[in-house]
Amino acid sequence: MPHAAPVTAMSAPPRHPHFYTVEVGDTRFTILKRYQNLKPIGSGAQGIVCAAYDTVTQQNVAIKKLSRPFQNVTHAKRAYREFKLMKLVNHKNIIGLLNAFTPQRSLEEFQDVYLVMELMDANLCQVIQMDLDHERMSYLLYQMLCGIKHLHLAGIIHRDLKPSNIVVKSDCTLKILDFGLARTAGTTFMMTPYVVTRYYRAPEVILGMGYTENVDIWSVGCIMGEMIRGGVLFPGTDHIDQWNKIIEQLGTPSAAFMARLQPTVRNYVENRPRYTGYSFERLFPDILFPTDSNEHNRLKASQARDLLSRMLVIDPERRISVDEALLHPYINVWYDEGEVNAPAPASYDHSVDEREHTVEQWKQLIYQEVVEYAAPPPPPPHQPPPDHAAPALTT
């Protein structure tokens, strides 16, 4: 259990009266007193996350401490972008920002950013290990597509959806946890390997091509395939291995696709052995699927496989769109106008991604955002339920 760390240095500036400090592992959290009972629940490249109880709204929340957001320009820019985007979007399938604060009282002292978000029960990595029936699988995919559509409406193409960044509650509600790659964070085929999960990245991202919204559909296809197969579809060790894994299963793409590649990449790709690939019946045989649904939705393996075969298409020009996927028989049983076409968010200013600032300038921009941020009032307790009854994850 984290314990309050004694403040021993007498010369330390007086603490803000609304804050207290606890040690979480080897990280010090200095947070508002309204948040109690901190328990570490995860850590990533961007920081440590704790579960806590908000004594004001009387709900459990997740508090993320951004890890050294000003150690370099990349970190600072990413922190600013994430904060801006979380303030912008408002959709039930994207994680919401409940509060943001810093314990420091001036720009000179400023070094810590805390983001308070809704607390969820698990990420999709854990859910993939469960034996999901068609109802739960299609409902999770439907929510992913609703969240993605909302991001696209704000002009945000994710490009890096993966199970670790998608969280769920035991009632089967799902939220996308992050906002993917900034426009300028291009990834190219010949880049040096770095430690990041790229198993779910679309061919056009791996190959450094241009991309459109349906780049995110590929990722959904990879996640769906993993739910069915119980293992990662294309577990490449680097970009080149990733590409080989894709073509071994799906086959070498057409000459028309090759013609759109940059010359150096095309040269490599065209000199690979040619693969015919396998049919989706062979890649995803009936035995891997849950039994056909007897409920009112009557979902079945053949529909799931048909959807997969339209999402896992190497050539993005021939891949299904988000809107088409939402109308697919395997998904549209959950279709709710208010969820699919929720009010569009304000458009994201992409000049942020292109902006060149020093670490100090980013720091100032972030400080401004945090200081300006006033926690919005909690949502009204009752919201009308959607037309469909959602399945629970706990059986």
- Catalytic residue chosen out of the listed positions 160, 241, 286, 306: 160
In the residue annotation, 336 being an active-site residue is answered as no
| Among 83, 81, 88, 98, CA closest to 183 | 81
Residue pair 348/154 in contact (Cβ under 8 Å)? The answer is: yes
Region of residue 250 (phi > 0: left; psi between -120 and 50: alpha; otherwise: beta): alpha
Contact 51, 119 (CB under 8 A): yes
Compute the residue count for the chain.
395
Please identify which residue in the block is written with the tokens 């989706």.
280
Count the neighbouring beta carbons within 10 Å of the beta carbon of residue 315: 14
d(CA 295, CA 309): 24
Q: Across the chain, how many H-helices and E-strands are there?
A: 14, 10
User: Are 217 and 320 a contacting pair, CB within 8 Å?
Assistant: yes
Task: Decide: 189 and 265 in contact? Cβ < 8 Å.
Answer: yes
Question: d(Cα 163, Cα 282) in Å, to the nearest integer?
Answer: 24
Name the token pair of 44: 């990533």
- The 8-class DSSP code of residue 12 comes to S
- 180-202 burial, b at 16+ Cβ within 10 Å, e below that, comes to bbbbeeebebeeeeeeeebbbbb
Contacts of 295 (CB under 8 A, 6+ apart): 135
Distance of alpha carbon 374 from alpha carbon 16, whole angstroms = 17
How far is it, in rounded angstroms, from Cα 284 to Cα 79? Answer: 40
Catalytic residues: 160
